């Protein structure tokens, strides 16, 4: 479980294998596997989640968060 918080929005990225939950305080995006690149767009913010490895990029429109599990 990766938790990224920018002071306003809490993002939960879980690679328990295939389910990712991206929550922007208003809308929860459930992204299910089937490939490795996920693009979730809410009309204003683009979230990129990639499980092909261990790098997750979460962008809130102003700040880019790079979450890496180091393993």
For the stretch 26-55, pLDDT in tens is 544 555 444 334 455 555 455 555 545 444
**pLDDT category of residue 15 using cuts at 50, 70 and 90:** very low
> For residues 21 and 36, is the Cβ–Cβ distance under 8 A?
no
What is the torsion angle, in degrees rounded to the nearest 10, for the CA atoms of residue 48, residue 49, residue 51 and residue 52? -10
> For residues 37 and 53, is the Cβ–Cβ distance under 8 A?
no
Q: Nearest 5 degrees, angle CA 59-CA 49-CA 64?
A: 20
**pLDDT category of residue 61 using cuts at 50, 70 and 90:** low
Checking if the pLDDT of 13 tops 50, the result is yes
User: How far are the Cα atoms of 5, 30, 43, 51, 62 from residue 14, in angstroms, in the given order?
Assistant: 14, 11, 23, 10, 22
Total structural domains within the chain = 1
Expressed as residue numbers, the domain containing 48 is 2-68
């Amino acid at each position: 479980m990766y938790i990224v918080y920018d002071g306003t929005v809490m993002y939960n990225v879980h690679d328990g294998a295939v389910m990712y939950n991206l929550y922007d305080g208003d809308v929860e995006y459930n992204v299910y596997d089937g490939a490795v690149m996920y693009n979730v767009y809410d009309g204003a913010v683009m979230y990129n989640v990639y499980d092909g490895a261990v790098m997750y990029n979460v962008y809130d429109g102003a700040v880019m968060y790079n979450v890496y599990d180091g393993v």
